[in-house]
Structure 1
Amino acid sequence: MLDSLFVKLSNTITLTETDKEIFGQHVILKNLRKRQYLLQEGEVCKYVAFVSKGLLRSYLFDEKTNQRIIQFAPEGWFISDLHSFINNDNSHLNIDAIENSELVLISKASHEYLEKAIPEFFKFNYLQYRGAYIAQHKRLTDMFTLSAEEKYIKMLSIYPDITKRVPQHMIASYLGLTPETLSRLRKKIFTKL
Structure 2
Amino acid sequence: MAYKKLFTYIGQHISLTEEDKEQIKSSTRIKKVRKHQFVAEQGEVCRYESFVVEGCLRCYHTDEEGKEHVVQFAIEDWWIADLQSFLSQTPANFSVDALEPSVLIQFEHEDLQALYRKIPKLERFFRLIIQKAFIASQNRVVASYSQDAGKRYIEFRNRYPTIEQRVPQYMIASYLGITPEFLSKIRSRFGED
For the superposition of Structure 1 and Structure 2, which TM-score range results when normalised by the shorter chain? over 0.9
Task: Identify the residue that residue 139 of structure 1 maps to in structure 2.
Answer: 140
C-alpha distance in structure 1 between counterparts of 2:124 and 2:186, whole Å? 41
C-alpha distance in structure 2 between counterparts of 1:149 and 1:8, whole Å? 33
C-alpha distance in structure 2 between counterparts of 1:113 and 1:174, whole Å? 35
How high is the TM-score relative to the length of structure 2?
A: 0.95
Q: Any idea what the Cα deviations from partners look like across 1:153-192, whole Å, max 9, x if unmatched?
A: 111123111121011111111111111110110111238x
CA RMSD of aligned residues (A): 1.2
Task: Identify the residue that residue 56 of structure 2 maps to in structure 1.
Answer: 55
C-alpha distance in structure 2 between counterparts of 1:61 and 1:158, whole Å? 25
Task: Identify the residue that residue 171 of structure 2 maps to in structure 1.
Answer: 170
SS of residue in 2 equivalent to 1:190: coil
SS of residue in 1 equivalent to 2:58: strand
User: Once the 2 structures are TM-superposed, how far is the Cα of residue 40 of structure 1 from its aligned partner?
Assistant: 0.9
SS of residue in 2 equivalent to 1:138: helix
C-alpha distance in structure 2 between counterparts of 1:88 and 1:165, whole Å? 31
User: Once the 2 structures are TM-superposed, how far is the Cα of residue 63 of structure 1 from its aligned partner?
Assistant: 3.8
SS of residue in 2 equivalent to 1:127: helix
User: Once the 2 structures are TM-superposed, how far is the Cα of residue 80 of structure 1 from its aligned partner?
Assistant: 0.7
What are the equivalent positions in structure 2 for 1:66-105 lying under 5 Å apart?
A: 66-105=67-106
SS of residue in 1 equivalent to 2:23: helix
User: Once the 2 structures are TM-superposed, how far is the Cα of residue 142 of structure 1 from its aligned partner?
Assistant: 1.1
Task: Identify the residue that residue 106 of structure 1 maps to in structure 2.
Answer: 107
C-alpha distance in structure 2 between counterparts of 1:104 and 1:173, whole Å? 27
Which amino acid counterpart does residue 78 of structure 1 have in structure 2? W
C-alpha distance in structure 1 between counterparts of 2:10 and 2:82, whole Å? 20
Task: Identify the residue that residue 160 of structure 1 maps to in structure 2.
Answer: 161
What are the equivalent positions in structure 2 for 1:24-35 lying under 5 Å apart?
A: 24-35=25-36
C-alpha distance in structure 1 between counterparts of 2:51 and 2:19, whole Å? 20
Q: Any idea what the Cα deviations from partners look like across 1:74-108, whole Å, max 9, x if unmatched?
A: 00000011111111111111100000000000011
Q: Is the 8 A contact 1:149 1:189 kept in 2?
A: no
Q: Count the aligned residue pairs.
A: 191
Give 4+ residue runs of structure 1 displaced > 3 Å after superposition. none
The answer for unaligned runs of 5 or more in structure 1 is: none
C-alpha distance in structure 1 between counterparts of 2:120 and 2:153, whole Å? 39
The answer for unaligned runs of 5 or more in structure 2 is: none
Q: Is the 8 A contact 1:28 1:106 kept in 2?
A: yes
How high is the TM-score relative to the length of structure 1?
A: 0.95
